[in-house]
Amino acid sequence: MSNIRVYIVDDEDIVREGLTEYVPWYDYGMEVVGTAENGQKAFDFLSCNEVDLVISDIYMPHVDGLELVEKLKSINKNPIVILISGHSDFDYAQRAIKTKMVFEYILKPINFEELDKVISAAKEKILSQTANNDFPLLTNEEWRKLAADEKNNEIAKQSQIINEIKLCQLENAQQLFSKTWGFMVKNSYSNSMIARYSIELIMGIIELVLEQRNSRDVLLEDPIQYIRSRHDINEIKTYTEKMIVTSYEVISRKENKDLSPVINVALDYINENYNNHEQSLNSLADKLNVSPNYLCLRFKEETGINYTKYLNSLRVKHAKELLKDVRLKVYMISDMVGFEDTRYFSRIFRSYTGYTPTEYQKKEATRQ
């Protein structure tokens, strides 16, 4: 598996095949994960799968290239997009770039030297986006303070609060959070430290609820974006307290009432086989005797996230546990949680946690 996932959309067979077969994707650290002959088929695939780079013709039947970009943005999908345009729609492509909907364009007939420059630039953009994630960054001094306060039991580890929720001990979870919050405020923790602590706690709560109850009830909005957009820390406190109560209510249910049988079975299978390298939406659909498109749409509708994001979040959760063992190398952990390519694993891990696996392992070592 390569590092960057590419999807190609064009109504001409010769263009799709040419881009797939004759571009040295491996040399760029990329792989083509699929193709489509029109924008609607592309949207059906992209709405269920995580892709980094889309190369699309502008004019196609059913849904054209720009309509595809707009539809993706409407569901908060923002891959890097390169448009392929003829001379007749050159101005159209330029306007699309000025609106920042599209990264770049290539004129037909495709010049492979020009294509090389555009793909290389797109790669740099994708990698820089991964590095500049939305997690609040802390200084080394702030990290040391957090670790020291945890060791002295001045603040609770996020895992302690999550475990109380898992045990349906709501009052204990609330008391731990209240004590921690009070200490952070009293001791003049920076807003970044408070935001970081809260984000990690909420992400852990979401992982717990999805794993234990297969429920989307806590996924009200993106917690990272929500917390990062708050300027008043009391709003962060209220939001986090709400997440603790909501997750307790979901966990304390005796059964999963809000999911269809097929999605319950799908989630159970993923939870048990997340570390299988061959795990995919298509293979899971085959096991359930449904079409991949049906499973994709139902999964997103009922859980609130798409199949790939759920699988990756589960793999990252287990990787975080394994990284606590400093004897294990990152490449070993990558393989143990279902990733064939260590670079791709590192990129996914950082997008979910704000750390590279190595950084996370060092951070955990200071906590022990």
Q: Where are the domains of the chain?
A: 4-131, 140-251, 261-367
**Structural contact between residues 360 and 330, judged by C-beta atoms closer than 8 angstroms:** no
Confirm whether 4-131 and 261-367 share one CATH topology.
no
Q: Please give the helix or strand (H or E) that residue 55 lies within, else none.
A: strand 53-57
Query: Which of the 8 DSSP states describes residue 275?
Result: T
- Strands of 30-36's sheet in order across: 30-36, 4-9, 53-57, 80-85, 104-107
Q: What is the pTM of this model?
A: 0.69
The predicted structure's pLDDT at residue 99: 60
CATH fold group of domain 4-131? Rossmann fold (3.40.50)
Considering only residues 318 and 105, tell me which one the structure prediction assigns the higher pLDDT: 318
Section 241-253 average pLDDT = 87
**Structural contact between residues 51 and 5, judged by C-beta atoms closer than 8 angstroms:** yes
Burial letters 217-249, b for 16+ CB under 10 A, else e: ebeeeebbebbeebeebeebbebbeebbebbbe
The mean pLDDT of the chain is 84
Lowest mean pLDDT among 89-93, 97-101, 216-220, 260-264: 216-220
Section 271-288 average pLDDT = 90
| Distance (Å, whole) CA 279 – CA 199 | 29
The predicted structure's pLDDT at residue 258: 66
The predicted structure's pLDDT at residue 184: 94
Question: How many other CB atoms sit within 10 Å of the CB of residue 63?
Answer: 19
**How does residue 73 score in pLDDT terms, banded at 50, 70 and 90?**
confident
**Structural contact between residues 122 and 77, judged by C-beta atoms closer than 8 angstroms:** no
Considering only residues 354 and 217, tell me which one the structure prediction assigns the higher pLDDT: 354
Lowest mean pLDDT among 109-118, 179-188, 297-306, 342-351: 297-306
The predicted structure's pLDDT at residue 170: 94
- Is the pLDDT at 257 greater than 60? The verdict is no
- Is the pLDDT at 288 greater than 50? The verdict is yes
**How does residue 367 score in pLDDT terms, banded at 50, 70 and 90?**
low
Identity of the residue numbered 294? Y
Considering only residues 305 and 255, tell me which one the structure prediction assigns the higher pLDDT: 305
Percent of the chain with pLDDT over 90: 32
Section 114-118 average pLDDT = 91
Q: How many CA atoms lie within 13 A of 332 on its CB side?
A: 7
Alpha helix segments (H runs only) across the chain = 13-22, 39-46, 65-74, 90-98, 112-131, 140-151, 158-166, 170-186, 191-213, 223-228, 233-251, 261-273, 281-288, 292-303, 307-322, 330-336, 342-353, 357-367
- Which of 63-77, 219-233, 273-287 reaches the highest mean pLDDT? 273-287
Considering only residues 353 and 335, tell me which one the structure prediction assigns the higher pLDDT: 335
The predicted structure's pLDDT at residue 1: 43
Task: List the one residue out of 105, 34, 33 whose CA is nearest residue 69.
Answer: 105
The predicted structure's pLDDT at residue 220: 53
Lowest mean pLDDT among 106-115, 209-218, 271-280, 304-313: 209-218
Q: Please, what CATH class does the domain formed by 261-367 belong to?
A: mainly alpha
Under DSSP, is residue 54 helix (H, G, I), strand (E, B) or coil? Answer: strand
Considering only residues 22 and 302, tell me which one the structure prediction assigns the higher pLDDT: 22
Section 21-48 average pLDDT = 89
Section 102-117 average pLDDT = 86
**How does residue 254 score in pLDDT terms, banded at 50, 70 and 90?**
low
- Is the pLDDT at 130 greater than 70? The verdict is no
